[in-house]
C-alpha cells in the first residue's frame, strides 16, 4: 500500500503537528510535552479537568475531541500504543483547574498501567484524579466479564457527556458518576473487512481473507467472535444490531443515541447503507432513536470496516449529549 | 566473595541496547503472531535512545539503568515502557551508591525490580509474560547462592533459568494483555516480552560475569 509518510518512526509526531496547525482556534500543543494536545480553553478555573489518551492511528480520536466543553487535554502515544505515564501526567496538569481531573480512557493493558502511574504522580502534585474506563466492546469478553472488555467508539459519547457534565460545574465525583453511567449504558461492535498495517512494521499483523469478514473485530485487529463469508450490508447491519442489542437488553421505549463509525478505509456512502438497516432494526425492537451520528469518529488506520455503538439515554444524558461544545472532530 | 564494580559496568546497558536493537525485527515478528507486531520497534526505539544518551558519558551501571528506566517510562509508553521502565528504575535504586555489587546486592536488585513490575502490572507467573522469564531466573539465582555457589555459577544458573523460562511461554495461553484476547490461539508461540526479558537478563549476567573480581 502507498502511504503519505515521512519516516515511519515519526508518524505520531508528524501527524499531531499537522493536526494542531489545522485547528489553532481550538487546540494547542503543550509547551512541555510534544505528545500532549490541550484545548485553548483549558484550564478552566474551578472546573473539573477532563482528559483522555491513547495510541495514534485512530484519528480523529483521540486528539480530535479536544476542545471547549469537551476534553481539556489528550495524551498521545505511538501508533496503536499507549501514551507514556509522563504524557498522561502532563495532560492532567494542563487540564487541572483546581477541581480535580478525570481521565476517561479505554480498557487496554498499557493505558491502565500508564494512567495508574500518572495518577500517582499527579497525587504528588496535589491534583485529585478520578478515572472511568471504557469497556463498551461487546465481543471482546462475555457479559460476565465486562471488566475485561475493551473500550471502543463508546468513548466518543463518554467524552462528549463527561465533558459537558464537567462544563456544567459538577464536582469530580458527579462527573465520575455520570461518565460511568454513560459507559455502562454503551454497547459497541466492530466488523472488519480488511486489515491495517503499522508503517514501521510494514505488513498487516492480522489477516482478513478476501470474501470474508471478522465479526467483533477490535480497534487494533484483535480477533472477534467469528470469521464468516461476507454478507450483504443489510445482513451485516442486522447481525451487528442483534449482537449489541441482545447484550444491551433495553426496555421497550428506551431512547438511544446511535453512532456508526468507519474504521478508516470504508466510504461514508457505505456507512449510510449500514445505517439504513440499523435504524430499521433498532426501531423494530421498540427503541426510539434520539440522535444518530455517522462518520469516521474512531478509526484504525486504513482498516476496512465499521463499528456500531448504541447508547441508552435518560433525561440527564440527553441534555448533556446536546450541550454546546466544539472540537475539531465534532463541529 | 566475588563482586563487580558498579562504576565500571555502565557499558552493560549499552550491550543490552545493542542486543535489543539487533533483535528489533525478530521481536516484532514474534509479537506479530499474537500481538500487534511493534514490540521490537518500540523496544529498539527506547533502548536506542537510552544508548545515545549514555554512549559518550561515564555512567556507572546504576546511573545507566536509571537513564534507561527514565527513557522507557517517559518516551516509550505502551505496556513495555512502564514495566521495563519500573524494573530498571528500581534496579538502579538498589545499586546506586554501592561501589561493588555482590550476590546479596544483585539479588536485592532483582527483588526490587520484580516488585516494581508487579506494582504497575497485574500479571502472575504462568500468564505468558516477561514474568515467566524473570521470576524463575531470580529464583534460580537465589537458590544457587543459598547452595553456596559462586557468584559466577549463580549468574550462569540465572541465565539458564531465564532462557528456560522464556521457552516455557510457548506452551502457555496468554492470560493478560492484548494476546489474552486470543485465548487458545495464543498457544504455540513465544511471548515477545518474555523473549526480550531473556535478552536483557542474559546480557546483564554476561556483563556482570566478565567483570567479576575478588575484592582487592
Tell me if the pTM is above 0.80.
yes
Half-sphere exposure of B12 (CA within 13 A, CB side): 30
Residue with cell 502511574: A117
User: Would you give per-residue pLDDT tens digits along chain A (331 residues)?
Assistant: 799 999 998 999 999 999 999 999 999 999 999 999 999 999 999 999 999 999 999 999 999 999 999 999 999 999 999 999 999 999 999 999 999 999 999 999 899 999 999 998 999 999 999 999 999 999 999 999 999 999 999 999 999 999 999 999 999 999 999 999 999 999 999 999 999 999 988 888 788 999 999 999 999 988 888 999 999 999 999 999 999 999 999 999 999 999 999 999 999 999 999 999 999 999 999 999 999 999 999 999 999 999 999 999 999 999 999 999 999 998 6
Give the pLDDT of residue B145: 97
Q: Comparing A8-185 with A186-320, is the CATH topology the same?
A: no
A77·B37 Cβ contact <8 A: no
How many other CB atoms sit within 10 Å of the CB of residue A249? 9
A84, A116, A137, A196: which to substitute to probe chain B, counting the most B Cβ within 10 Å?
Answer: A84
Residue with cell 478476501: A210
B37·A205 Cβ contact <8 A: yes
Contacts of A249 (CB under 8 A, 6+ apart): none
Give the pLDDT of residue B32: 82
CA distances from B82 to A106, A206, B97, B198 (A): 17, 26, 24, 18
Max Cα–Cα distance, chain A, nearest Å: 55
| Confidence check on the interface: ipTM exceeds 0.85, yes or no | no
**Calpha distance B186→B172 (Å, rounded):** 8
Contacts of A118 (CB under 8 A, 6+ apart): A85, A86, A87, A88, A89, A91, A92, A103, A129
Length of chain A: 331
Give the pLDDT of residue B56: 86
Contacts of B176 in chain A (CB under 8 A): 109
Q: Domain-by-domain residue ranges, chain A?
A: 8-185, 186-320
Q: Please say whether the beta carbons of A292 and A257 come within 8 A.
A: yes
Task: Delineate the domains of chain B, giving CATH numbers in brackets.
Answer: 4-211 (1.25.40.340)
Q: Please say whether the beta carbons of A139 and A216 come within 8 A.
A: yes
Give the pLDDT of residue A331: 60
B78·A205 Cβ contact <8 A: no
CATH 1.10.3720.10, applies to A8-185: no
B83·A78 Cβ contact <8 A: no
Whether the CB of A98 is below 8 Å from some CB of chain B: the reply is no
**Calpha distance B188→B174 (Å, rounded):** 11
What element of type H or E holds B167?
Answer: helix B151-168
**Strand pairing report for A73-79 and A288-295:** unpaired
- Among the ranges given (A27-41, A119-133, B99-113, B164-178), the one the predictor scored with the smallest mean pLDDT: B164-178
Give the pLDDT of residue B216: 58
Give the pLDDT of residue A224: 86
Task: Verify whether residue A203 is a known catalytic residue.
Answer: no
Q: Report the CATH superfamily, name and number, of domain A186-320.
A: Dihydroxyacetone kinase; domain 2 (3.30.1180.20)
Task: Verify whether residue A23 is a known catalytic residue.
Answer: no
**Calpha distance B35→B21 (Å, rounded):** 19
B52, B78, B117: which to substitute to probe chain A, counting the most A Cβ within 10 Å?
Answer: B78
Give the pLDDT of residue A237: 98
Please provide the DSSP assignment of A101-153 as one string: EEEEEE--HHHHHHHHHHHHHHHHTT--EEEEEE--BGGGS-GGGGGGPPP-T
Contacts of B107 (CB under 8 A, 6+ apart): B138, B141, B142, B145
Whether the CB of B176 is below 8 Å from some CB of chain A: the reply is yes
Residue with cell 444524558: A317
**Nearest CB neighbour to B77, from listed A84, A150, A221:** A84
Q: Please say whether the beta carbons of A246 and A290 come within 8 A.
A: no
Amino acid at each position: 500500500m502507498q502511504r503519505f509518510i515521512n519516516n515511519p518512526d515519526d508518524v505520531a509526531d508528524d501527524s499531531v503537528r499537522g493536526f494542531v496547525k489545522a485547528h489553532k482556534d481550538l487546540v494547542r500543543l503543550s509547551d512541555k510535552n510534544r505528545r500532549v494536545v490541550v484545548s485553548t480553553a483549558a484550564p478552566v478555573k474551578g472546573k473539573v479537568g477532563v482528559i483522555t489518551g491513547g495510541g495514534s492511528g485512530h484519528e480523529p480520536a483521540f486528539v480530535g475531541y479536544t476542545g471547549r466543553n469537551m476534553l481539556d487535554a489528550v495524551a498521545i502515544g505511538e501508533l496503536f500504543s499507549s501514551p507514556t505515564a509522563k504524557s498522561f501526567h502532563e495532560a492532567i496538569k494542563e487540564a487541572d483547574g483546581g477541581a480535580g481531573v478525570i481521565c476517561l480512557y479505554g480498557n487496554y493493558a498499557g493505558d491502565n498501567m500508564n494512567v495508574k502511574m500518572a495518577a500517582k504522580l499527579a497525587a504528588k502534585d496535589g491534583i485529585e484524579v478520578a478515572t472511568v474506563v471504557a469497556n463498551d466492546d461487546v465481543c471482546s469478553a462475555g457479559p460476565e466479564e465486562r471488566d475485561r472488555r475493551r473500550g471502543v467508539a463508546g468513548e466518543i459519547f463518554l467524552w462528549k457527556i463527561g465533558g459537558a457534565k464537567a462544563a456544567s460545574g459538577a464536582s469530580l465525583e458527579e462527573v465520575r458518576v455520570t461518565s460511568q453511567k454513560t459507559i455502562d449504558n454503551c454497547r459497541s461492535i466492530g466488523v472488519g473487512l480488511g486489515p491495517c498495517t503499522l508503517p514501521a512494521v510494514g505488513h498487516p499483523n492480522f489477516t482478513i481473507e478476501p470474501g470474508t469478514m471478522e465479526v467483533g473485530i477490535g480497534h487494533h485487529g484483535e480477533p472477534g467472535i467469528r470469521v464468516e463469508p461476507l454478507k450483504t450490508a443489510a445482513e451485516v447491519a442486522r447481525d451487528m444490531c442483534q449482537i449489541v442489542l441482545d447484550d444491551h437488553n433495553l426496555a421497550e421505549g428506551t431512547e438511544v443515541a446511535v453512532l456508526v463509525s468507519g474504521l478508516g478505509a470504508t466510504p461514508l456512502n457505505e456507512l449510510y447503507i449500514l445505517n439504513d438497516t440499523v435504524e430499521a432494526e433498532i426501531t423494530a425492537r421498540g427503541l426510539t432513536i434520539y440522535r444518530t451520528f455517522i462518520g469516521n469518529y474512531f478509526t484504525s488506520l486504513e482498516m476496512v470496516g465499521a463499528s456500531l455503538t448504541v447508547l441508552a439515554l435518560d433525561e440527564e444524558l440527553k441534555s448533556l449529549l446536546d450541550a454546546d461544545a466544539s472540537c475539531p472532530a465534532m463541529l | 566473595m566475588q563482586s563487580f564494580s558498579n562504576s565500571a559496568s555502565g557499558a552493560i546497558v549499552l550491550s543490552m541496547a545493542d542486543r535489543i536493537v539487533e533483535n528489533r525485527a525478530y521481536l516484532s515478528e514474534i509479537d506479530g503472531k499474537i500481538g500487534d507486531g511493534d514490540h521490537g520497534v518500540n523496544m529498539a526505539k527506547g533502548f536506542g535512545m537510552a544508548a545515545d544518551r549514555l554512549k559518550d558519558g561515564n555512567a556507572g551501571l546504576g546511573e545507566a539503568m536509571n537513564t534507561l528506566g527514565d527513557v522507557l517510562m517517559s518516551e516509550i509508553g505502551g505496556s513495555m515502557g512502564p514495566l521495563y521502565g519500573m524494573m530498571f528504575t528500581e534496579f538502579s535504586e538498589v545499586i546506586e551508591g554501592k561501589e561493588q555489587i555482590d550476590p546479596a546486592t544483585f539479588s536485592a536488585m532483582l527483588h526490587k525490580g520484580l516488585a516494581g513490575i508487579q506494582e504497575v502490572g497485574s500479571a502472575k507467573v504462568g500468564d505468558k509474560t516477561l514474568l515467566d522469564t524473570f521470576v524463575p531466573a531470580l529464583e534460580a539465582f537465589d537458590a544457587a547462592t543459598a547452595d553456596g555457589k559462586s557468584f559466577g555459577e549463580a549468574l550462569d544458573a540465572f541465565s539458564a533459568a531465564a532462557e528456560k523460562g522464556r521457552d516455557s511461554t510457548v506452551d502457555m495461553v496468554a492470560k493478560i494483555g492484548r494476546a489474552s484476547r486470543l485465548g487458545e490461539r495464543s498457544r504455540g508461540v513465544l511471548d515477545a516480552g518474555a523473549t526480550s526479558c531473556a535478552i536483557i537478563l542474559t546480557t546483564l549476567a554476561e556483563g556482570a560475569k566478565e567483570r567479576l573480581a575478588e575484592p582487592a
